[in-house]
Structure 1
């Protein structure tokens, strides 16, 4: 281009410097030519360098979405090609590119490949820069103690938050009794680009909330700005309502099915042979994959498609000669017989236990099965003539995996051990064959006995067996048909012990399910007034308290206390335990006056009934001292904590966890009194012993570490304090979860240190995040929420945003006066700031930061 420009200029300059034509003697004409040359060269440059327009890309909300939480990520797809679904994929892509008030329902009978298709859509969307979320609908609820509706609501809120919905908005709606589903869908309708898959919506009743799903008042709605895709066996358009694009998966054609077989077993025969086998299998993708994997085995007896077809056509086959794979019963029968051929091959290869093992696995819960549960004791003696040993069980399981009859996903970061899963249709078909071919009572009795024995053995191992114990929980829920008191007591004790271990492992959400299961069983068997029922009710309330679900815990504790007082009497140890636990929940709710009254009443009775040195009495004394501290009566709290610590050291020993708890709590009071050096010494001593005795991940050790960091902050050693707070926050998030009150306290305390270090923007961001979470989890009136609000106002003041800070401080003062009373130290701190609010703007406003301590 530059050469062209030079040549054109050269022509003009030749005219100018040599013999000038008469028509070019005017200087104006010369400069006009120069200008024309320059413009021409620029236009030519633009034309020559212009690139072809890129294809229209998908609209994105913003260039960087937060990472999808692990629990909402799609499963990994199979490496094999998705045959016969090209047109279906194109239909879904058209909705993906332009939702226009539509959503997709991929429907069909079991084994038709609905999930595999959804995974492929999710992968393509992710490759195009879309944020993708995956929810597996569990209408029956989860092993975490939540119903299917509760679990879905939590997951949908997490989707919206990941896309940018402020956490505080969800918390505010919950607190006000508003519609969470309207909030989430209102945000999704304003946020384009997302893809959300709800898999396995075979029983969609719970998706509708207040009415049928098709009325779109629940979690399924058209009109979102992204793509909502569901997989379901329900093929009725009336179920899903307007806006539903029904993508019905039909069996694969003979040619398509043949390609699936050839992909899996290239040496199985000709395309024509594969077509005949595909036709015989009804084009059902799950059956085709089973057959293809079976033929592909190097040691298989049926290594050719023709041989496999002959086995299917055996006169003893119960499969229809022309099966309709869209019929659920036919599909189950077809898959069941396909499995039987694979099991025959495994038996011929020397793994005869594969068949009874698959039967036993199918009778367990629809949840991952811990690998350590799969032992010879799982197989009834009457199920096989083969000697059952560990080696033969391992060989059978390896064969089942090799033939694609079970899956063995890699250990995840939670379970840490191997597990086994079954496809739902495989489970249904195998269970059908057990019922058809044998007495299922013997199978269930054997499995029940094995589950109880495993629970007893694993709980005795303690920490070492925690990962397996966690996976065992949903399978224990199958054990409901107990016919005599002895077996019921053994089962109840086994489940209680598993729940105890899960709570020690900080897996409280999983423990809730077991606690509720035992409580329901005892309520039916013994009645609500039986002492065993009351004990189980108390245990459930305690785990709810541990999870920060204080309102639910209070309700259960009040119910338990009322019945215990009536049935057992006010002085009974169980009644006093219930009264103490109710007071603890009231303390957690910030209702300190009520808590103090209950604790004093309980302590008086405990001292009279059990004596002043009894461990239970000392626990009541410790709890009363904690409430006194929360009421700002520090001298009384110090005296009571010192008395408790002295007695516990003498009675229990210096390393006992209860003694260390007293030591920790005394240090907290010293910190509140401004005696920081004494507090630091006590906290360091306590942390050292807690770490040695319980381990650094134990909640008590984490509380001690948090409190030591607070004292270091008070001493002005901000870098040290920040290090401990970051360490504690990381561990609490991993061990307790991001919404646990202790985790929120760590987040608040780290933000305080960042402010003291002058890193105000970081502190503001962390305080806002903490305040949103406190409001959502604990409510707007909780002392922890008010402390967080106070601390955010302090940071805004440090940033020079005085009007915002003053507004927050006024709000905090008003609420503290109403909730805590006018004489509480936190209220007085807010009042002092209010008095100072008219001070000169040149001077930095002051306010007392409220650290959240742990005990």
Structure 2
């Protein structure tokens, strides 16, 4: 070996070299430190060209960020870090800034994804800024501090510059002096790391790059795949992809480059449900790298975390992937909770470390969600839906069932046996996801029932509906929808649909429950009585008052015989008969039954005694009110019980009813609005017009905000408000209200519906027909109508 040849050897990282010279004199050379390429190692072909794919379309959104970056480049100096989730467009923003400034200053681009590439690229920057080959060679061989050379040349640069350090997802090498500030230029770093000593050391300005707003996401799709696509479908696709820029780019690339087929956006959306990640990756180019494929871009971050000693990050992400793409309360991930359910492959003591790793790599975020009902904020973890889908698809088959079962137990533990709705709000999306999954539905059905019942009791029927429907479907799939549970679940679902105003939709469900309960009549007669009560409520709103009265009498007979006359459930059957009687125009019977019931209320017992007492008071007050209105008719046959009534008496009972509802249900419960509606009508009939209009207007406003303007109860209250305003002389506004209510009722309920007739009558307040007369006519006609599938019903809310 010649002397020249022997001295060309080099050591890397922790390597050692033994050199023999002449008389077998051995010299041992140690090298401690980072990798140093040999003198002959090659750097990047250019640092004056952006090493990222060209932008496929114009950038959408990011205007404020782009303006700030441009201004910073113009003023010179400082370090800016673009951080965020993989595929959210950090490099795209950097590429835009690079192209925008290249004509006015020196624009330099370095690939910082690996330490060796960072080192080679930065030394090439030094050479570009005037370093001699000898200086660069000395830095390569470790005879000169490489980072000092680079920044000396950048500081001495005659031209201002922009330096982009792209994909610095592992910022550790930057801490060795490669990241500094200079008065001659601006540094822009892209990284998935949201927090690192490297950023703090140079006081970097941090800029989070997130998913796009939905409108801009849809525009990006249109830019990438122009054509005759339906705007609504494009918007749905953007939402389905979570407005994730890389996913949008891949979808747009696929739709624009099809050769053998030509899918519409709707067809693409449909196929996306089969295997979203695989389909999206088909939009990548043939030479696309890992960062340009959805299946790989996030795996890069997970691999990096594993190399840093955080393999548990994948376990935490798999646990999150079993849940809904919604905020997850950190309490749900508490080590004690995870330990109790035995999540596979996830040591409880390493959960926090794994979660911190996800947060640092921007694979998850820690946010605060406002607590329900004025409670304090709740710390939650979030992750992008597509990431969760990707991770879920990668769970080994042998672990999948065990993992989902553990998560189901975890969510079950988070739903209290009793309590307010607010305690479960943030868990509910995850419970619903597990309820819809066939593998876990049976494990969470009891928790779903508890949430359903809590929302039902609070009058939050729209929130209760998915759980009620999910329970019925889940038990049917599991083969457990038999007997008492089936009837109870069907009744709960039917009741909730009734309260949401879809009376026709509730009818087949409640009638199925009634049929199932009839089969259990001998073994459980009280179950049949409960199904009959549900039928009474439904048929009363459908206008089938005779059927309602029949089932109410049957339920009363069973409950009176088995529970006694003073049980709350018996009283419930009585007050429903009161309602049926006055809907049929049987005011004498209704008043007599109501007075008997009022006398009975103080002696009620049973679990629901307070609730039934409130409901009974309202029906009694309404029966007396309608009887007094009907007694004004020119041909009215006034019963002795009605003749003994006075408006002062009914007004006092109605006011007491409102107080009782507020005390039991609360002032903001939808049922309390029903008591206030009744009180408004009584005030009007008693002559207190201002109080009546103020009260009914408040009811309309409340129902509009809580139930929606198209709910039958809201429409009816609006018609009553229009009637009162018209009779009070405010014809212009009354006509507008009545016309709107009538149009809604006609469209939603049909021309013959009782509420539609009430709205029609409100259009002609001078020709006013009493509420009682309208109901009497409706009941008379309805009870002559055929009923069954397809028969049109007539819901009515008891004001």
Q: TM-score, normalised by structure 2?
A: 0.58
Report the Cα distance in structure 1 between the residues aligned to 2:746 and 2:538, rounded to whole angstroms.
18
In structure 2, relative to structure 1, the CA distance for the partners of 1:463 and 1:823 (3 Å cut) is: closer
1:548 counterpart (493, 501, 512): 501
Q: Give the 5 Å matches for 1:99-110.
A: none
Mapped pair 1:362 → 2:321: yes
Number of aligned positions between the proteins: 537
1:735 counterpart (706, 714, 734): 706
Report the Cα distance in structure 2 between the residues aligned to 1:754 and 1:677, rounded to whole angstroms.
23
2:690 counterpart (683, 700, 719): 719
Q: Shift in Å at residue 444 of structure 1?
A: 2.1
In structure 2, relative to structure 1, the CA distance for the partners of 1:117 and 1:659 (3 Å cut) is: closer
SS in 1 for 2:540: helix
Mapped pair 1:338 → 2:301: yes
SS in 2 for 1:506: coil
Unaligned 5+ segments in structure 1 are 1-74, 89-110, 125-133, 138-195, 204-229, 245-282, 288-319, 799-808, 825-850
| Cα shift readout 1:491-544 (whole Å, capped 9, x = no counterpart) | 432221111112223332332222233223333444665332222222211211
Contact in 1 for aligned 2:328/2:427 (Cα 8 Å): no
Report the Cα distance in structure 2 between the residues aligned to 1:397 and 1:80, rounded to whole angstroms.
29
Report the Cα distance in structure 1 between the residues aligned to 2:331 and 2:709, rounded to whole angstroms.
30
Mapped pair 1:662 → 2:616: yes
| Cα shift readout 1:646-697 (whole Å, capped 9, x = no counterpart) | 2222124998221122222222122223333222211222222322333101
Q: Which of the pair has more CA radius of gyration?
A: 2
Structure 1 equivalent of residue 744 of structure 2? 773
Contact in 2 for aligned 1:625/1:638 (Cα 8 Å): yes
Q: Give the 5 Å matches for 1:207-286.
A: 238-240=262-264
Report the Cα distance in structure 1 between the residues aligned to 2:616 and 2:663, rounded to whole angstroms.
17
In structure 2, relative to structure 1, the CA distance for the partners of 1:375 and 1:775 (3 Å cut) is: farther
In structure 2, relative to structure 1, the CA distance for the partners of 1:77 and 1:359 (3 Å cut) is: farther
Report the Cα distance in structure 2 between the residues aligned to 1:87 and 1:746, rounded to whole angstroms.
59
Structure 2 equivalent of residue 260 of structure 1? none
Q: Shift in Å at residue 372 of structure 1?
A: 4.7
Structure 2 equivalent of residue 522 of structure 1? 475
Q: Shift in Å at residue 627 of structure 1?
A: 1.0
Structure 2 equivalent of residue 453 of structure 1? 413
Mapped pair 1:323 → 2:289: yes
Q: Give the 5 Å matches for 1:359-758.
A: 359-370=318-329, 372-376=331-335, 377-378=337-338, 380=342, 383-385=345-347, 387=349, 393=352, 400-401=358-359, 403-407=361-365, 411=369, 418=378, 419-435=380-396, 439-455=399-415, 457=416, 459-468=417-426, 470-477=428-435, 480-481=438-439, 488=442, 491-526=444-479, 529-569=482-522, 572-652=525-605, 656-674=610-628, 675-758=646-729
Contact in 2 for aligned 1:506/1:736 (Cα 8 Å): no
Structure 2 equivalent of residue 116 of structure 1? 212
SS in 1 for 2:472: helix
Contact in 2 for aligned 1:506/1:735 (Cα 8 Å): no
SS in 2 for 1:461: coil
Q: Shift in Å at residue 639 of structure 1?
A: 1.0
Contact in 1 for aligned 2:700/2:717 (Cα 8 Å): yes
Contact in 2 for aligned 1:754/1:763 (Cα 8 Å): yes
| Cα shift readout 1:690-713 (whole Å, capped 9, x = no counterpart) | 223331012332221222122222
In structure 2, relative to structure 1, the CA distance for the partners of 1:759 and 1:430 (3 Å cut) is: same
Mapped pair 1:198 → 2:236: yes
| Cα shift readout 1:78-130 (whole Å, capped 9, x = no counterpart) | 96457869999xxxxxxxxxxxxxxxxxxxxxx9x997385327799xxxxxx
Contact in 2 for aligned 1:406/1:420 (Cα 8 Å): yes
In structure 2, relative to structure 1, the CA distance for the partners of 1:324 and 1:353 (3 Å cut) is: closer
Structure 1 equivalent of residue 642 of structure 2? none
Report the Cα distance in structure 1 between the residues aligned to 2:219 and 2:265, rounded to whole angstroms.
27
SS in 1 for 2:705: helix
Report the Cα distance in structure 1 between the residues aligned to 2:782 and 2:391, rounded to whole angstroms.
69
Report the Cα distance in structure 2 between the residues aligned to 1:410 and 1:746, rounded to whole angstroms.
39
| Cα shift readout 1:736-769 (whole Å, capped 9, x = no counterpart) | 3333333223322332333244222222222222
Contact in 2 for aligned 1:718/1:756 (Cα 8 Å): no
In structure 2, relative to structure 1, the CA distance for the partners of 1:453 and 1:117 (3 Å cut) is: closer
Structure 1 equivalent of residue 85 of structure 2? none
In structure 2, relative to structure 1, the CA distance for the partners of 1:532 and 1:737 (3 Å cut) is: same
Report the Cα distance in structure 1 between the residues aligned to 2:95 and 2:715, rounded to whole angstroms.
49
Report the Cα distance in structure 2 between the residues aligned to 1:560 and 1:761, rounded to whole angstroms.
47
Report the Cα distance in structure 2 between the residues aligned to 1:666 and 1:719, rounded to whole angstroms.
25
Report the Cα distance in structure 2 between the residues aligned to 1:360 and 1:710, rounded to whole angstroms.
55
Report the Cα distance in structure 2 between the residues aligned to 1:432 and 1:526, rounded to whole angstroms.
28
Structure 2 equivalent of residue 9 of structure 1? none
Contact in 2 for aligned 1:202/1:232 (Cα 8 Å): no
In structure 2, relative to structure 1, the CA distance for the partners of 1:233 and 1:374 (3 Å cut) is: farther
In structure 2, relative to structure 1, the CA distance for the partners of 1:335 and 1:403 (3 Å cut) is: closer
In structure 2, relative to structure 1, the CA distance for the partners of 1:710 and 1:231 (3 Å cut) is: farther
In structure 2, relative to structure 1, the CA distance for the partners of 1:199 and 1:532 (3 Å cut) is: same
Report the Cα distance in structure 2 between the residues aligned to 1:822 and 1:440, rounded to whole angstroms.
59
SS in 1 for 2:425: helix
Structure 2 equivalent of residue 805 of structure 1? none
Contact in 1 for aligned 2:676/2:699 (Cα 8 Å): yes
Contact in 2 for aligned 1:667/1:678 (Cα 8 Å): no
SS in 2 for 1:672: helix
